[in-house]
Amino acid sequence: MHSTLSPSSPTIITLKPVEATPENFAPFGQVISASSDRDRFGPQDAQLELHRGIPRLYIMKLEDQPLKFPAITHHASVTQCLGSIGGDEWYLGVAKPSVLKESEIGNEDGRKPIKARCGHYYIPPNPNEVCVFRFSGPKFVKLNVGTWHAGPLFKKKSMDFYNLELSDTNVVDHTPYDFRMTDNVVLEIED
């Protein structure tokens, strides 16, 4: 649903979240739930790409993350895992990866690639292709390399999340895209 507030105000795109499952989240990454300690490693486990640096696992404290986002970001060199401490409900806006390999530059079907300050090329995400997932209970998400994401977002005042990425991900591998500035759009979650 689109609604324009005024010529200078951004268009608000309202998104309805769906509960994340391994099946519906597969284009963006993996949803990981509890398994027996006796289970062997397999496809139900997070398939991580952390070989390009020093892994960093930490608890991230977030405050005031309302269910609205004007921008989205991706990491072109690493998977990222996120999960709430305590299993509280949270949301994540996502769009499919659009990082280009060198051989793909020039074959974008009319879409113009952008060179990120990190050095790679990507196709900007389309705000109409963003979807939102709700995560509840004891599970976490692994984002595929290059998956566009906004969040974690939540209704509470503050939440703690565990975050697995590389030690320098947010310095050398952080590519933002601002929907408000480039498309005059803000995305809002209605749950």
Domain edges within the chain:
15-34+46-189
Say what the pLDDT of residue 112 is: 85
Strand order across the 185-189 sheet: 2-4, 11-15, 185-189, 68-69
Residue 172 reports pLDDT greater than 80? yes
pLDDT tens column, 43-58: 999 999 999 999 999 9
Task: Determine what percent of the chain is predicted with pLDDT higher than 90.
Answer: 83
Cβ neighbourhood burial of 154 (10 Å; 0-12, 13-18, 19+):
buried
pLDDT confidence tier of residue 23, bands split at 50, 70 and 90? very high
Say what the pLDDT of residue 24 is: 98
pLDDT tens column, 31-45: 999 888 999 999 999
Query: Could you tell me the CA-to-CA distances from 81 to 98, 116, 138 in Å, in that order?
Result: 19, 22, 14
**15-34+46-189 is classed in which CATH architecture?**
Sandwich (2.60)
Say what the pLDDT of residue 65 is: 96
Assign residue 64 a region (left: φ > 0; alpha: ψ between -120 and 50; beta: otherwise): left
Higher-pLDDT residue of 85 and 104 is 85
**Averaged pLDDT for residues 136-159:** 97
Cβ neighbourhood burial of 76 (10 Å; 0-12, 13-18, 19+):
buried
Torsion angle defined by CA atoms of residues 169, 170, 173 and 179, in that order, rounded to the nearest 10 degrees: 140
**Of 94, 62, 71, residue with least CA distance to 176:** 71
Give the chain's radius of gyration (CA, Å).
Answer: 17
Residue 5 reports pLDDT greater than 60? no
- Could you give the count of Cα atoms lying within 13 Å of 162 in the half-sphere of its Cβ? 13
Say what the pLDDT of residue 108 is: 59
